[in-house]
Structure 1
Amino acid sequence: MDIGIGLPTTVAGVDRAGIVDWARRAEAAGFSSLGTIDRLVYDNYESLISLAAAAAVTDRIRLLTDILIAPLHTNTALLAKQVATIDRLSEGRMVLGVAVGGRPDDYAASEVDPGRRGRLFDAQLARLTSIWAGEGGIGPAPFAGPRPQLLIGGNQVRSFARVARYADGWTSGGGGPAALAATLPAVRQAWSEAGREGSPRTVSLGYFGLGDGAAAGIARSLGDYYAFAGPYRDMVIDGAAAGPDAVRALIDGYLAAGADELVLFPTSVDPAQVDLLAEVAFGR
């Protein structure tokens, strides 16, 4: 199982070091991907711009949106161009993870009807696919193949059908190893029924904190980010891994559940978190 690390784009106090220095450290430490999570009505850095900055100072590590709330990007042609540009500049390292999200304030700010988000998303996926295939003359072309690497999130049957039709794999969100193990068979079944060969790539998300004050940092960062979510907020905080033993257990749990990659997102902006996580994940 590959192990990636998130950029602290949603953590209070993030600055240039939290993108540029963090990205360099993550690549040097051997992580597979740099990830971002997405909000609009929040004091966070925008995902695609953050990954473009990371692309400029790295050479190997993948650049992953986990996820980008696609229906908020109402100009699908522009979104296709932005993603393909990062893919070309990074020589094929862009991994676009997309889903519909669910924050009403994000949709209100974008002047998009959240009740139509599923239909909008389906139309976007078809349009992105056609643009990347060269229809309409909108370039640049993806670095290799018919599209940048594409993952689709969601835990409904309709989501799994989208994965099988359009994507390279599924991003499972942060429900924990047990939820992944319970849902993965349905994703694989949809993939097989669509006539796809092999298995969909499966990426999962977790949160971590290491070093002094890890538990307090988790509660503060995730408590603020998920303040809108009611009881789910506490579930996210309780599910985050505080300390080396908890991080190791989370990694082992996702490995046993069948994840191809686990991306661990930080709750601190201190770039030292990269090295602390590498010690636990890779034994160095």
Structure 2
Amino acid sequence: MFFTRSLAIAAAVGAASAQLKTCSNSNNTLSCHSSSKSPTCCFSYPGGALLQTQFWDTDPATGPSDSWTIHGLWPDNCDGTYQANCDSSRAYTNITAILKEQGRTQLLSYMDKYWVDINGDNEQFWEHEWSKHGTCVNTIDPSCYTNYQPQEEVGDYFQKVVDLFKTLDSYTALSSAGITPDDSKTYDLSDIEDALAKIHGGQKPYVGCESGALNQLYYFYNIGGNAITGQYKAAAPLEKSNCPSSGIKYTPKSGN
């Protein structure tokens, strides 16, 4: 339904030739730092902030016991609000097939391990994240590509989310600060934020809790250029943590 041209051809030929338009000002104009109100292929607007978001699911547990898992990459309007489901014509329901046809099998294998749905339906989860958030990243609109191949931006989006996630090893950062999953220990919010800021350019992420236990992390960025090849600069969170200041639980994963 969504394959207007052969993705096998896109993988073999288009992947090498299709690319995002060059952004000469990528190091000068950061999103959320300009008076411009016009989105371009080199300027993110209104979703000027991008959030790499992570889960810590424990019941049922998802992903490895020594790693957080991917939630997504979300554009935010620089003020805590956001757009969603921006292009119904690109609300694809075949993410796995698209990635396979683009030859991104290693990416897909990684996603199956670290970008996992709590109910076991990874494909549906990825479809949701792409449709709700990915279609709202204006700098990867099809018009921003030269020699565009259908769904090229889909593979680029998922690859970028994974690449960012790999630079944000939250489990190891917390563990290095003595913050480890435990059924009885509790931790202070400031210690958690300080530990995570060390892997995020000195900027603390949003730390989310559920029933007083660690549950989610949002790492905020401003972007110079497009969302794939542009400059990512760590930014302060646009919302306050919902966790208590102390007594925070970090529940071990169980039932993997």
Question: Normalization by structure 2: what TM-score?
Answer: 0.24
Structure number with greater CO (CA < 8 Å, separation at least 6) is 2
The two structures have a TM-score, normalised by structure 1, of 0.22
Looking at secondary structure, tell me which structure has more helix per residue: 1
Larger Rg: 2
